Copies of this chain bind each other. A is one copy, B any other.
Amino acid sequence: MRQEPDNTLVELKQYRESIDNLDAALVYLLAERFKVTKRVGYFKSKNELPPADKAREEKQIQRLRTLARSAQLDPDFTEKLLGFITREVINHHERARR
């Protein structure tokens, strides 16, 4: 180690506090996003629309890849993450139909 253990711990602790703050913000934003997609699910079910919409998903992917690039975030990772969230949303929609 090139630094004193105490300084190392302090610096790492500060980074982790920032990560924890950002994670809390992410959780609350995601919760809000699921509130909206839940409404979409209910709406689609009521109007007999299919849970998935490929054209909409393709638009979302391209938009998020552009946003990711402007934020210096890896567009492939961002696309994979959206896919992960979307699959959860579709599971919710399918459960709501049963």
Contact = CB atoms under 8 A, between A and B. Distances in A.
A40 B28 contact: no
The residue among A11, A22, A26 with the most chain B CB atoms within 10 A of its own CB is A26
A75 to B, nearest CB: 10
B22 A56 contact: no
Interface residues of A, number: 52
Given A15-B39, A43-B15, A85-B81, A73 B22 contact: no
A22 B29 contact: yes
A21 to B, nearest CB: 9
Interface string A72-84: 1110011011101
Contacts of A68: 27, 31
A96 interface: no
Contacts of A34: 73
